[in-house]
Amino acid sequence: QVQLVESGGGLVQAGGSLRLSCVAHTNTFSAYVMGWFRQAPGKEREFVAAIGWSAMSTDYADSVKGRFTISRDNPENMVYLQMSGLKPEDTAVYHCAANRRSYGRNPDEYEYWGQGTPVTVSS
């Protein structure tokens, strides 16, 4: 079992930046692929970014590529999402997720989820 807790969300103006953090309560953090997903009101959960076990591999949705950066700190059991150039359409609840089996964009592949942290971008 892995408990994930996100933080760092808030209200920001368009063009601004936020850094989301997620701490994983597990003794085997480096064994998990970590992902960030988001869900806006009335919309399905969508992939944002993923990072491989050793942080050598990263993947981004086209909508955030060049603006968001995912990173991880395995000794600290942390994964981060640095967001810059925020747009109103980035408004959503952001969730981190973990899975042992695959490196992918499908939320069904992820076994563990945090409760999420809300991000609101005003125009």
Residue whose pair of structure tokens reads 């955030």 in the numeric block: 64
Residue 59 makes CB contacts below 8 A (sequence gap 6+) with 49, 50, 51, 103, 105
Q: Does residue 104 or residue 21 have the better pLDDT?
A: 21
pLDDT given for residue 54 in this prediction: 80
**Measured distance CA(36)–CA(40) in Å, rounded:** 14
DSSP letter string, 54-92: TSS-EEE-TTTTTTEEEEEEGGGTEEEEEE-S--GGG-E
Residue 101 has pLDDT above 90, yes or no: no
pLDDT digits (tens, 9 = 90+) for 29-71: 999 999 999 999 999 999 999 999 887 899 999 999 999 999 9
Checking if the pLDDT of 95 tops 90, the result is: yes
Mean pLDDT along residues 92-120: 95
Read off the pLDDT band of 102 (50, 70, 90): confident
